[in-house]
Structure 1
Amino acid sequence: MSTPTPAAGGTSANPCTALREDAAVALLRGEPVPDAVREHQELCPTCRDEFDRLAVLPALLDVTRDESVPHAEVPDEALLRRTLEEMRHRRQHRRRLTLLVAAAAALLLAVPAGALVVRELTETYESTDVVTPGDVLVAEGTAQDTASPVGADVHVLAHGEGRGSILVVAPWGLASGTTCRIELVDSGGWTHPVQTWVVPAGYKRGWKARVPVTVAPKEVADVKLVDDATGAVLLTVPVRSV
């Protein structure tokens, strides 16, 4: 293989380009790669990676030798260039697809980790004794709407493993079949959706929800019960440190 000659402008042509073309032609012909190409690949990781990608070229071209179908033994240079151009377009398409997937993942991660944890209210509420091993009661509050039977007891626990808080909400007086939402308001005024559920038939005082949230215990200011269908606030429970 000859040494690349200087270009018309006086600068030497990129030797990688010529050696990559030699490697691609040898691959398509089913011939051994020239020694000069292999020596260059040992010193040039970029060319070596490019050759590894070109190794799938015969499969892309479906060059399985079928003796019943006459075809040229050696692909012409125009075919090689068209194939390389097609591979370039495919790489660009994969790159765009990767960017779109990354953008979608970023949007999903923007949703608070503790939001919309759907869980049936099936546990019983035993007065204020809601602390389990490893959890510490930090704040609590009780409120009731004087114009309706709706009320709630709220307890905020410091999680035993130190990640956020455990919010224990025990509402009562809600109408069966109502889709309710629990929202947490932190000390900075930000609202965090916590849990949404449908009030089951036979619901009565004594049911509770125990949900992990990402807000620190002493940052919990208020807990709201909201009618999820209308957005109306059914009850606001101020939370105070104990």
Structure 2
Amino acid sequence: MLEKNPTAIISVENVSLAYGAADGPNVLEEIDLKLHEGEFVCLLGPSGCGKSTLLKIIAGLIQPSAGSAVMDGIHITGPEWHRGVVFQQPPLYSWLSTRENVRFGLKMRKIPKAEGLKLADEYLDKVGLLQYAGHKPYELSGGMKQRVAIARALVNSPRVLLMDEPFGALDALTREEMQQLLRNIWRETGCTILFITHDVDEALSLGTRVLVMSRSPGRIIREFTTSFTCGITAESTGQARYSPAFLKLREEILGLINKQKLSSINNLN
């Protein structure tokens, strides 16, 4: 359960980002966002609205043209292990075993080998892949590779986990399994998660807060507080998704996103 007045870990204030030169058109405009301790925030919006760009700013992979992104009051100037990142295509090292891929970040942080191997196996066990610890990435399915990527991000015990459409390339059954895995990990670890998706059902069934962005230049135009994920189990997912409250909120969010798409089309005509 979230605290009544949770602490803000990440604060994004008045962030804008211009294409190319500083005087180019904005991809993001005047973004204000706070990520609080222990919450699961899902970010939705039409293609090209800057969702991934915003995540990369929070990750420290790119710098905004204006405004600031801070973590615990300190400006984010580059990547660091307190913010784990999982992308849609897991960038695993093909020459390393599953165990060594998970241990890689710990190795870079000079964590002793014995401790690193123990932690790697612990997190492989959490994602159900301990028996594949010696396998290479090419021997794994897409869903298994994504589990390795999640274990590699979590093994550093990050305070914030940033996920950019991590399940977008998976089939429907594997995607649902991965959603339940992530839900369980979030409940167990209390990690703060920012999750980007195009799927409204996925956002509502995972998030404690759902943010909707406008078409480019991206702005956050609506925020919804949700609680479906807190009661969902592997057996009750269908019940939640077909409940009147879920369907009503789903239609409202889809209406917002479709309105953005229509506005974009009309501007081209």
TM-score bracket relative to the smaller structure? under 0.3
Please, what TM-score do these two structures have when normalized by structure 1? Answer: 0.21
Q: Name the structure with the higher strand share.
A: 1
Q: State the TM-score, normalizing by the size of structure 2.
A: 0.19
Q: Which has the higher helix share?
A: 2
Over alpha carbons, which structure has the higher Rg?
1
